[in-house]
């Protein structure tokens, strides 16, 4: 609570977990200084929409900038669209660079085919990006000792198809 009491601007970058779902509610908003500003670029389910509207309407919060929502896309009739103290931003952080993406996907597929751990695995239980010890066990369980995919090399054929498709997209 002391952290919130000192925050004129609260920027939420938290992952969505069991502990963070609904974390920004009337209790959290009441702990902020009157007139504070909320920025949520994390996950929509962290904010309780109805409590945010009340906090804005009574002046506890002066404004909110929202990049994410409980329902995506935000329904046409949602009160966020027309609230005078809410600014909505498009949830687009960057343009994907196709050549970089192709290299990254091809590298990950190659690691899977060789039975190596895949980097950047997401631990959904923890709500964020975590490098999993189990990733190497998962990839090994999907391949035989020779490195060919179990079930007749399906990963290998799929990886080639994905890479070829992405290469064609790059040239187009």
Residues annotated as catalytic are 43, 91
| Cα distance between residue 40 and residue 67, in whole Å | 6
Q: Name the H helices within the chain.
A: 2-5, 26-31, 49-57, 98-113, 134-141, 154-171
The DSSP result for 120-135, as a single string, is: T-EETTTTEE---THH
Q: Going by C-beta distance under 8 Å and a sequence separation of 6 or more, which residues neighbour residue 87?
A: 63, 64, 65, 66
SS3 65: strand
HSE (CB half, 13 Å, CA atoms) of 98?
11
């Amino acid at each position: 609570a002391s952290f919130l009491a000192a925050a004129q601007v609260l920027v939420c970058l938290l992952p969505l977990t069991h502990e963070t779902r609904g974390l920004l509610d009337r209790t959290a908003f009441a702990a902020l200084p009157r007139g504070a500003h909320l920025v949520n670029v994390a996950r929509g389910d962290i904010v309780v929409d109805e409590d945010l509207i009340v906090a804005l309407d009574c002046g506890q919060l002066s404004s909110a900038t929202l990049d994410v929502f409980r329902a995506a896309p935000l329904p046409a009739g949602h009160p966020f669209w027309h609230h005078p103290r809410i600014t909505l931003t498009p949830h687009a952080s960057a343009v994907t660079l196709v050549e970089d993406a192709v290299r990254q996907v091809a590298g990950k597929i190659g690691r899977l085919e060789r039975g190596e751990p895949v980097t950047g695995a997401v631990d959904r239980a923890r709500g964020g990006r975590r490098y999993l010890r189990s990733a190497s066990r998962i990839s090994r369980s999907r391949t035989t000792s020779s490195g060919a995919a179990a079930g007749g090399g399906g990963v290998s054929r799929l990886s080639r198809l994905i890479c070829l498709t992405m290469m064609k997209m790059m040239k187009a």
